[in-house]
Structure 1
Amino acid sequence: MDRAALERHIKATPVEGSPADMRAAFLRLAHPSGVPDLPEVTAVGGCPGRWFGQGGRPILWLHGGGYVFGGSASHAAPARALADQTGRPVFVPDYPLGPDHPWPAQREAGQDVVRALGVCDVVGDSAGGHLALVLAPRMAGHVGRLAVLSPNTDRTGLSTTRRRNSGSDLMNDDAQDRVLGDMALSALPDDDPEASPLLADMTRMPPLFISTTTTEVLLDDALLLATRAARSGIAVTLDVQPDLFHMWHLWPDALPEARRTLAAVAGHLVAPARNCPT
């Protein structure tokens, strides 16, 4: 599948309806040729999920999907690609989803997984990037390196591209992002750092890799995060790709840009880790 065919698939597979409908649609969206064979579901820290690859120190991938859909099945392709590129196992947990499980269920499940893994490196995309940014400073002794792809960081209005890029992002728009966020985060005011990790104290963040694209809704979420982290003295690598769409990394088999992004994440994660437990 080339990019044109993938874009037709995205347009023909709207993620809408009930939460159950959205979960089924997003799984179809992530796998244009059908869901591949998947590893068996196992549990880490009481949270079900799937392992991809094997080898050394594990990588935790916190999946996106607005805290309403997504999981280890939808993120199989990028998780496998990252495992291949790093030579390390990647665990994707199926953490609790809203609206049945509102915040802080996601944070608590993530903390339990990190404790069980003793994991040193974390990847998060979209809402999973939000979760990773909340978890990393809380688990500072366990997270050596962090990579966030199209992270959701600001619900206060500082991010101007949420509206400006709503017409150019095939995978996201401001209205849908707000609806999904409210299903899990509605109990939090927008300026709470757990709702908008952009506002959190960045000084306990590990070395940070951020990837975004110029035409996605969450461009400013990433750019503002990079600025705040750098001003807090955190080592930051910012990767800005032109003319893509939110969560392009889901399709490494179709998009060379996705493969390059995951290779950049792998390069960040294989550098010597900081503050890893022994």
Structure 2
Amino acid sequence: MTDPRLERDWPAHRPAVFGAAYRITGSVADAEDVVQDTWLRAASRDLGDVRDLRAWLVTVAARRALDVLTSARARRVDYVGPWLPEPLLTGPDAAEPVLLDETVGTAMLVVLEELTPAERVAFVLHEAFAIDHARIGAVLGRSAAACRQLAASARRKVGARHRPAAPAAERDRVLARFRAAYENRDEAAMLALLDPDATLTTDGGAAEGLFAARKVISGTERVARVLVRVARRNTLLLRPAEINGEPGFVIVRDGRVVGVDTVTVADGRIVAYRRVLNPAKLRHLFR
């Protein structure tokens, strides 16, 4: 029989369970599977000795997500082209509630991919969910002191690679101007909005269809030229949306969603443009 406390409190804790799994795996589909596994584990257990149910559920989810991540990293060795996390719609129409903070942003998830699995788990649990190092140790099979060192190492790496998000008003202004330039196929206007060292990353997973570069494209002129060329050939529209807690675009062609764009803005210009085109990473957007 399911513990009455679990029945009562699960809806309140589910966003944290999903959020931990998503931050660790970078996959909506995998995070949903972890949520289901966590519920089944909790429903089959006597929770009478569990004092902090939220922390217990999050650590159970993290343990399972770590297994998933370890397996996924092995598969990504053979992934065709750049790999980006599955985009998560977080606006008013979002299907999946999730706790929002900087650690769920796409730029952060890209940086988290560079950590070891253990560092990623330690960072996510401590920074996003305030889980103490002793509990993290139970997930990783290490001492609290070792987990403290892992979290510190992860923070240093993240601090060296992650750029804090620009103010919301600045991002909204830049993205509105970029959208107008994109849909007018105005390469000159687009150039003015791109940082000299701007990058374009496209994740197509070798799927047929829209252009997806096998390598990251760098430089203002190259990025603008590629974006405009693809837009002209495919009659693409950009629909503003909240992606991973930040402003971005859903790409629409002939009334159908074919991709998702996320953008990093700094000092009034776009420094990183990321485009997910892999259909397998977009399935959850059509529910």
- Fold-level similarity (TM above 0.5): no
More helix by share: 2
Q: Which protein has the larger Cα radius of gyration, Structure 1 or Structure 2?
A: 2
Give the structure-2-normalised TM-score. 0.24
Q: What is the TM-score of this pair, normalised by structure 1?
A: 0.25
